[in-house]
A and B are shown apart, each in its own frame.
Chain A
Amino acid sequence: MNRVLISILRKEFMHIWRDPQTLLIILVWPVVMLLLFSYAITMEMRGIPTALCDLSETPASRHLVECITSSGFFELVAEDVTPSAYEELFQRQAARCLIVIPADYSGDFINYQLTPVQLLIDAADPNAAKFIQNYLGSILWRVSSNQSNGTLLTFSLSPRFLYNPDLESTYFFVPGLIAVILLLISALLTSIAIVREKEMGTLEQVLVSPARGYQIIIGKVVPYIILGFIDGVIVLAVGVYWFDVPLRGELWQVLLAMLLYISTGLSFGLLISTVARSQQTAMMLALMATILPTIMLSGFIFPVESMPLLFQWVSKIVPATHFLDIIRGIMLKGVGLGLLWQQTLYLVLLTLFLLIVSIYKFKTVTE
């Protein structure tokens, strides 16, 4: 066995053990993130403060209002609001939308009288505005189809949500979080660990020994591969056992994909450490080069398809995009790595490329 490598490895593990604060953060932080994303940032709105202006005041209109409020999405905060007074409500942020039922509203859908119900939405938060529009639209659609018994519409859309029938946002977040956390651990921690030794001057002492560049690099990164892997498993376990995220594919394939992705992150981290001279620089570079694209451009939160074309291309370079394809595919759709060979191949090639560049740059002799 390679004695030099083993002693570098052992020393690196000691550094990790000697710093229990950081270790604790590394192990607890992913779980906290997961809980935050799952409970705090759910992608639905309830009890939207709503103002109402019912100009019709008929049983039909009251039925409509009843349907709207009983859905739970809307909560009436003001009634009989004059169309001229709504602006003040919006400015005070007392209401987010105003529903205006016209005077000629009859609820008579059978005779096909088009009666426009007006909806004014505070679109300062465009995402929320879209939610409100969709909620009200679907309520109105249900009310009208109930009354008309469906006879009026020539077709009806009956969506079936596959792979995530309840549209649980955790299904979506858990794979995404695994991507973020693995990258953070592997890229950020490795680059900092190497640059710290540069700053301390101990790296020089190691460089002056016959230890080879590859031994130093492997010795420094393997502990973080393990640490990252443990973190990934923690998030996966919490996701599957606590949030009931399905794991339809093979577990070993998920783990393999995670290992591959960690290696990609590590090679990023190595490259950063060959460039950065201080820990701060390493940290900023790691955040900018890995974390931000992962969150913004990989489809973790914002669907790739809704991005401008340029960013869609960029997202094709971001490794997290491909990792998300792989892990969502395996976990939610139950497909195997065989079907996802393109994404897998991309990650392998990217990792090799980054590794070669950084080993080339990590010279034991300064020019």
Chain B
Amino acid sequence: MSDPVPVTTLPPAVVVDRLTRNFGTFTAVDQVSFNVSPGEIFGFLGANGAGKTTTIRMLCGLLLPTSGNATVHGNDIYTQPNRIKACIGYMSQRFSLYEDLTVRENIQFYGGIYGLRRETIMQKTTELLQELDLVDKADQLTGALPLGWKQRLALSTSLLHDPPLLFLDEPTSGVDPQSRRRFWLLIHRLAAEGKTIFVTTHYMDEAEYCHRISIMAQGRLVELDTPSALRDKYDCDTMQEVFLRTVSGSPSL
């Protein structure tokens, strides 16, 4: 199979070079290196506690590395965290929406903290509500929405400032198959528009939707390739099997 990674001459969206983070004596991320191309959907897999979230937090400028380097859209994670924050969207596995605010208020708040103009926020709010089919729920408290809606709303709010790069940390956790497909439809549309997507997931069928997959185990990057290449390498039919092969060799932490 041919490589589905978008071919591009642009500089990489993310460059990670021997990135390491210790917590006391525990090494959460151990000498991890990889590049992500613009417009790529980059899947980040691993067992719970393998170091995925720590890596993402470092790349988002929330956590300083112990050693190693990384740049996000050319911005250094040590010295330019604020420039990084302006060019990324971030959606975490935990709910990032305020449940006691309405759908509309959440959108307006996140538009506001990215410094968007009032008219822009108004316009984007209307657009988003229509796109998400939430017009009649706009003034409902976000806490009352079904999970799948919340997840898509959270994704949309992280896109308000039109960032070229998106970090999604287990965005579909606990979401039913139909909602997950809708969610991935959004992701692929974004990638087609040229956005870079960095995503973690525990659904192995979703891993197949990524251009390239990296697998982390105990803080180290153990695999990095296209889904088909990984399946060929391990001679497996599904990513589920690939994952179990690569990860179960080591005791889960």
A binds B: yes
- A281 touches B (CB below 8 Å): no
Is A46 interfacial (CB 8 A cutoff)?
no
Contact A8 B81 (CB under 8 A): no
Question: What's the Cα separation between A14 and B63 when bound, in Å?
Answer: 30
Q: Given known contacts A15-B98, A15-B100, A18-B100, is B112 in contact with A8 (CB within 8 Å)?
A: yes
In the bound complex, what is the Cα–Cα distance between A249 and B98 (angstroms)?
45
Taken residue by residue from 2 to 17, chain A's Cβ proximity to chain B (1 for < 8 Å, 0 otherwise) reads as 0110111011001100
B-contacting 9-mer, from A72-80, A315-323, A359-367: A359-367
The docked-state distance in angstroms from the alpha carbon of A202 to that of B113 is 13
Decide if B108 is an interface residue (CB 8 Å cutoff): yes
- Assembly CA distance A291 to B115 (angstroms): 38
Residue from the list B64, B109, B115, B116 in contact with A365, Cβ < 8 A? B64
A200 at the interface (CB under 8 A from B): yes
* A/B interface sample: 23 pairs, CB < 8 A: A3-B112, A4-B114, A4-B115, A7-B109, A7-B111, A8-B112, A11-B101, A11-B112, A18-B101, A18-B141, A200-B94, A201-B95, A205-B92, A206-B113, A207-B62, A208-B61, A208-B90, A209-B110, A212-B82, A364-B61, A365-B81, A366-B64, A367-B64
Enumerate chain B residues within 8 angstroms of A15, measured Cβ to Cβ.
Answer: 98, 100-101
Query: With A4-B113, A8-B113, A210-B85 in contact, do A204 and B100 touch (Cβ < 8 Å)?
Result: no
Given contacts A18-B100, A208-B90, contact A364 B112 (CB under 8 A): no
Contact between A208 and B85, CB atoms less than 8 A apart: yes
Query: How many A residues, CB 8 Å from partner?
Result: 27
The 7 A-B residue pairs with the shortest CB-CB distance in the complex, in nearest-first order:
A7-B112, A201-B94, A205-B96, A208-B90, A18-B100, A210-B85, A210-B86
Known: A202-B98, A210-B86, A366-B63. A14 touches B105 (CB 8 A): yes
A19 within 8 A of B: yes
A4-B114, A11-B105 known; 11 new pairs, CB 8 Å cut-off, are A3-B117, A7-B111, A7-B112, A7-B113, A8-B109, A11-B112, A200-B94, A204-B94, A206-B113, A208-B88, A365-B62
User: CB of A110 within 8 A of chain B?
Assistant: no
The answer to whether A226 has its CB under 8 Å from any CB of chain B is no
Residues in A neighbouring B92, C-beta threshold 8 A: 201, 204-205
Q: Quick check: A209 and B113 within 8 Å, CB to CB?
A: yes
Please give the distance in Å from B171's CB to the nearest CB on chain A.
Answer: 13
In the assembled complex, the Cα of A211 lies from the Cα of B82 at a distance in Å of 8
Most chain A CB atoms below 10 A, which of B62, B96, B98, B113: B113
The one of B62, B85, B88, B108 in contact with A7, judged by C-beta atoms closer than 8 angstroms, is B108
How many angstroms between the C-alpha atoms of A15 and B141 in the bound complex?
Answer: 12
Chain B neighbourhood of A365, CB < 8 A: 61-64, 81
Q: A210–B114 contact, CB under 8 A?
A: yes
Range of interface residues on chain B? 20 to 34
Q: Which of A10, A201, A209 contacts B85 (CB 8 A)?
A: A209
Name the CB-closest residue of A to B157: A205
B146-201 residues at the A interface, CB under 8 angstroms: none
What residues on B are CB-neighbors of A201 within 8 Å?
92, 94-96
What is the total of A-B residue contacts with beta carbons within 8 Å?
87
What 1/0 mask marks residues of chain A from 173 to 186 whose CB sits below 8 Å from any chain B CB? 00000000000000
**A209: nearest residue on chain B (CB-CB)?**
B113
Q: How far is the CA of A210 from the CA of B89 in the complex (A)?
A: 11
Give Cα A7 to B112, complex, Å: 5
Cα–Cα, bound, A11→B108 (Å): 9
Within 8 A of B (CB), among A333-367: 364-367
- Which residues, 44 to 96 on A, are CB-close (under 8 Å) to B? none
Q: Which residues of A contact B (CB under 8 A)?
A: 3-4, 6-8, 10-11, 14-15, 18-19, 200-202, 204-212, 364-367
Contact of A209 among B94, B98, B114, B141 (CB under 8 A): B114
Complex CA–CA separation, A23 to B172 (angstroms): 36
Query: What is the CA–CA distance of A205 and B82 in the complex, to the nearest angstrom?
Result: 14
Whether a CB of chain A sits under 8 angstroms from the CB of B60 is yes
A10 & B109 in contact (Cβ 8 Å cutoff): yes
Which B positions have Cβ atoms within 8 angstroms of A?
A: 57, 60-64, 81-82, 85-86, 88, 90, 92, 94-98, 100-101, 105, 108-118, 141
> In the assembly, what is the distance between CA of A67 and CA of B117, in Å?
80
Which residue, A11, A209, A365, has most C-beta atoms of chain B within 10 A?
A: A209
Residues of A within 8 Å of B117, CB to CB, are: 3
The residue of chain A having its C-beta at the shortest distance from the C-beta of B86 within the complex is A210
Q: Is the CB of B116 within 8 A of A3?
A: yes
Question: Which residues of B sit under 8 angstroms from A14, Cβ to Cβ?
Answer: 100-101, 105
Which of A200, A205, A207 has its CB near the most chain B CB atoms (within 10 A)? Answer: A205
With a CB–CB cut-off of 8 A, which chain A residues contact B113? 4, 7-8, 206, 209-211
- The reply to whether B95 and A4 form a contact with Cβ atoms under 8 Å apart is no
Residue picked from B94, B111, B112, B117, most chain A C-beta under 10 Å: B112
Given A8-B112, A18-B101, A365-B81: A208 in contact with B62 (beta carbons within 8 A): yes
CB of B119, distance to nearest CB on chain A (Å): 11
| B231 CB, nearest partner CB in chain A, Å | 34
Q: Per a CB cutoff under 8 Å, which of A7, A205, A212 touches B90?
A: A205
Considering the complex, give the chain A residue whose CB is closest to the CB of B87. Answer: A210
CB <8 Å contact, B96 and A19: no
Q: Please, which residues of chain B bring their CB within 8 A of the CB of A6?
A: 112
Q: How far is the CB of A209 from chain B (nearest CB, A)?
A: 5
In the assembled complex, the CB of A248 is this many whole angstroms from the nearest CB of chain B, namely 44
Which residues of B are found within 8 Å of A18, using beta-carbon distances? 100-101, 141
Residues of chain A within 8 A of B88, CB atoms compared: 208
Q: Min CB distance, A52 to chain B, in Å?
A: 65
Q: A343 to B96: give the CA distance in the assembly, Å.
A: 44
Q: A3-B117, A204-B92, A211-B113 are in contact. Are A19 and B100 (CB under 8 A)?
A: yes
